[in-house]
Structure 1
Amino acid sequence: MKTVSFLAGLVLAAGTHGLNVLITNDDGFGTANIRAMYHAMSALGHNCYIVASSSNQSGQGSRLIFTNNAKLTSDSEFGIVKSGAPSIGQDPNDDHIWYYNGSPATQVLVALDYVLPKHANFSVPDLVMAGPNYGLNVGPFLYGMSGTLGATQTAIERGIPAIAFAGSYGTQTAYYDIQSSTSAGLQDPATITGRLAATLAQAFIDKSTSTQPNTTTPGRVLPLGYGVSVNIPLISSFKDSSCVNPPFVRARMTGGGAYTSKAVYNSASGLFGSANYADAGTNMCINGDCSLPGEIEVLNSGCKSSVVLFTIDYDAPYGVSSLADPYAALLPDIVQLNNATNLVGGLGANASVQGTTGTSSSTGTATGSKASASTKSGAGRVTLETASSLAAFALGVAVMATLF
C-alpha cells in the first residue's frame, strides 16, 4: 500500500469521517500544486484520487476534448510518462494518481465514468477539488475561460459539490521540485497553497457535518448547483514570511476592475492578439450580495484570499434562491468579511509554515495579512496586466508533518 493511503487510513481509524475526493486541474497531473493539495487532503483522512491532464491544458474552459490517439504522441508533462504510453494511465509511483490526454472538463467525465468505477473503491466522489491553478482565475471572464473552473462546473453539473482553487504564482513546477525548506527557512509556496486549499475544504466539510442533527457524519458539502471559486495571493515563502497565511475573505466575481478581453491588431505582423479590457458590463452586480468586494479588490487590499460562492443556474436571481442568505448558510466561519477588525489566517492564527531543513531568522509562524500586497516585495499587485489565466486533530497534524 502506498504511503499516503496508509497514513490517511491511520487518520480514518482514529475517528475522522473521511470523504471520497476527486482532485483535478488544468495544469497537469505532475505539477507541484495539485500534488501538494492531494497530500494535504489525504493527510486529513480523505480518500483522494487525482485524474488530471497529461500535459498543460490551461485556458480550455468547459471544452470537451477527447484524444484521438490511444497512445501518447509525446512525453507527458515533465517527462513523467513517456511517448508511446497509453493515453490514459496511472502515475508510475502512485496508483491513486491518473492522467488522461484531454481537456480539464474531460478529466472529470473520464474520472466519473471510467477511472473511479473501475479502479477506485467508490464511483461518485463526495467532493471535487480543482487546482490549485497557476495564475489567478478572477472575474466572470476567467470564470468562463479557465480550465480549472471548467472542470469545477462540469462536476457541479453532474451533481457533485466542487471547489476551484487558483494562486498568484504563475510558474508551473514539477511535484518533485517542491522544496522542504526555502532559502527563507519556510515551506515551499506549493506546500502552503495545498495546505490552504485543504484547510478551507475541511472547513466546508465540518460545516456540513454540523448541519446534520444527531450525527458526526458529513452531509452534502454544498447544495446542488453551488460551487466555490478561491483565489490565493502570491505566497512569499521563497523570500520571506510577509504573506504565508492569507485569511479567507468573502467576495463576488464582478466589481473592482474585473475584466473581459479585446482584440489588438499588430500592423507590423498583420496578426491579432488579445488584451485585458475593463467594461461596465463585466463589472455589473446583478445577483448576489452587491455589498461584497470583488475578487480583485480583495486581492489588492493585502495578503488575502478571495472566496466566491456561485451557482450554475444562470437564470435564477439571488432573491429567488431557496436560501435567504446563502453566504451565511453555506460559508464556514473561516471565511470572513473583508472589513473584519481581526482577520485570522487561513491556516489558523498560529499555524507554522517552518521548513523542515535549514535555518532562518524568520520564526516561520503564519500571522496572516501583515502588509499590503502592493507594497511587499514579490507580493504582486493584481492588475489587468498581471492577473492570469486543521480542522485536524493531533494525529492528522502529525501525519501532515511527515508529508511536508
Structure 2
Amino acid sequence: MRPATVLLPAALAASSAAAQGVRILQTNDDGWAESYLREMHSSLLAAGHDALVSGPAENQSGTSSRDAEPEPRTEPCQFDSCAANSGPVGSNATDPRLNWVNSFPVTSLKFGFDTFAPQVWGPGAVPDLVVTGPNIGSNLWLQVPFSGTIGAAAESVKNHGVPALAFSGLTATHNRWDVSPVPLESTLYAQLATKLTNAVIASGTPYLPEGVFLSTNFPKVSSSRCSKVDDFKFVLTRINPFGFSGPDAPHCGGDTSLPTETEVVLNPTGCFVSVSVADASDKTTAPADKQAVVIEKLGDFFTCM
C-alpha cells in the first residue's frame, strides 16, 4: 500500500521530487521503537521510498560491529513494544515493515537482508540502499569505531555490497515511537537525513564508490535556532584530523585538507551538517580518490566553510 500523502517542507519536497523511490532497509543501535528511527521511516515513506525497518529489540548503543544469533526474549521489548516471551525476532502486528531482532544492529541488518526483505519485497529482493539512524547523539572521530549505527552501515557495504548512509544527531533525547507531540529534533533530523538520501539517489547509480559509506552528523537543534530544514547547510568533512590520513580530494577552491566533522558540527556560528566519506573497512576517512567521486556526484549539495 502506498503511504498517505504528507505535506513536506519546501526544501524536502523539492529534493524528493528529484529522487526516484527506491527500496531502503533501515536499522539503528538505539532500538526499533525509538522516535528518531520511526520518524525517519515515516519521512522516507512520505518521500516515496519503499522503506523497511529491521532494528534491535532494545537499545544496543556502543556495540560497534558485534554480531550474535538472536535469542528468545523473556521480557518485553523496548518501551513495551513487544510482549514478553515473543521469541528471538518479530514484527509489528499491523505493519510488516516494522521488525525487531533480539540482538545487535549488525545482526538486525543481516536479518533485514535475509528474512524481512524477502517477506515484504518478495523472494530474492534486496535493498537499493541502507540507512542507519539517526543515532541518538553524535558519532564523531573517536566515537565512530564504537557505534552500532556506524557498524551496521559498514556491514552493509563490506558484506552485502549495498551502499549505506549513517546519520547521527547531537541533540540526544530518548523517546518512544508514539511520543506526543513529536519532538522537534526527531522530525527535523528525519527531514534532513531524507534530504541527503534523496540527493544521493538523484545522483544516480552507483550511488557511492565501492567500499565506502557516508557518515553524517547533525548539530544541536532548538526552537529558536537551527529549527527548520532551510537553516542547515551540508559540509563535506573528514572523520579523523588531517595528518592521520590524507591529503583529501581537492574541494572548495582546490583545498586538499577538509575540515573535521567535529569542528563543523560544533561550529557556534551556523547550523552546519558534516558529511564524511568513510572507509567501510576501518571506519576512518576514505581515500582521496573515493572522496573525489562523491564530490563529482554531490559537489553542488555541499557548502564551503
- TM-score, with structure 2 as normaliser: 0.85
Contact in 1 for aligned 2:245/2:285 (Cα 8 Å)? no
- Quote the offset at 1:313 in angstroms: 4.9
Q: CA deviation at 1:21?
A: 0.4
| SS of match in other structure, 2:274 | strand
Cα displacement (A) at 1:16 = 6.7
The answer (yes or no) to whether the contact 1:162–1:227 under 8 Å persists in 2 is yes
The answer to whether the 8 A contact 2:239-2:285 is kept is: no
Answer yes or no: is 1:318 the counterpart of 2:284. Answer: no
Cα displacement string for residues 306-365 of structure 1 (whole angstroms, at most 9, x for unaligned residues): 00012235699836x4x682342233522222x2xxxxxxxxxxxxxxxxxxxxxxxxxx
- The CA distance in 2 between the partners of 1:107 and 1:116, in whole Å, is 12
Distance in structure 2 (CA, Å) of the matches to 1:191 and 1:29: 16
Alignment correspondent of 2:67: 64
- One-letter amino acid of the structure 1 residue matched with residue 293 of structure 2: P
Q: 1:109 to 1:84 in 2, by over 3 A?
A: same
Match of 2:302 among 321, 324, 335: 335
SS of the residue corresponding to residue 117 of structure 1 reads helix
Other structure's SS at 2:178 match: helix
Inter-partner Cα distance in structure 2 for 1:176 and 1:42: 17
Q: Which amino acid aligns with 1:151?
A: A
Identity %: 28
The residue correspondences of 1:322-401 to structure 2 (distance < 5 A) are: 325-337=292-304, 339=305
- Residues of 2 paired with 1:77 and 1:336: CA distance? 39
- 1:2-401 alignment, distance < 5 Å: 5=3, 7=5, 17-67=20-70, 69=71, 71-121=72-122, 123-139=125-141, 141-157=142-158, 158-179=160-181, 188-208=184-204, 219-237=205-223, 240-244=224-228, 245-255=231-241, 284-286=244-246, 288-289=248-249, 290-301=256-267, 302-313=270-281, 318=287, 321=289, 325-337=292-304, 339=305
Distance 1:226 1:108 in 2: 17
Change (3 A) 1:89 1:331: same
TM-fit CA distance, 1:24: 0.5
Q: Is the 8 A contact 1:234 1:243 kept in 2?
A: no
What SS is found at the alignment partner of 1:286? coil
Q: Is the 8 A contact 1:295 1:306 kept in 2?
A: yes
Flag structure 1 segments of 5+ consecutive residues without an equivalent: 183-187, 209-218, 257-282, 340-404
Q: Secondary structure at the match of 2:275?
A: strand
In the alignment, the residues of structure 2 paired with residue 316 and residue 164 of structure 1 have an alpha-carbon distance, to the nearest angstrom, of 14
Pick closer, same or farther for the CA change 1:41–1:83 going to 2, 3 Å. Answer: same
CA contact (8 A) 1:178 1:190 kept: no
Aligned match of 2:253: none
In 2, Cα distance between equivalents of 1:317 and 1:92 = 41
What is the CA–CA distance in structure 2 between the aligned matches of 1:307 and 1:31, rounded to whole Å?
23
Amino acid at match of 2:120: H
Distance 2:169 2:94 in 1: 26
1:226–1:234 distance in 2 versus 1, CA, 3 Å: same
Give the aligned CA root-mean-square deviation in angstroms. Answer: 2.6
Post-superposition Cα deviations, 1:75-107, rounded to whole Å, max 9, x if no partner, equal 111101111112211123422110010101111
Distance (Å, rounded) in 2 between the aligned partners of 1:316 and 1:49: 28
Residues 51 and 75 of structure 1: is their aligned pair in 2 closer, same or farther, counting only changes over 3 Å? same
Is the 2:237–2:274 Cα contact (8 Å) retained in structure 1? yes
User: Amino acid of the residue matched to residue 285 of structure 1?
Assistant: S
> As a proportion of its length, which structure holds more helix?
2
- Quick one: which amino acid aligns to residue 205 of structure 1? I
Work out the CA distance in 2 between the residues paired with 1:327 and 1:16. Answer: 17
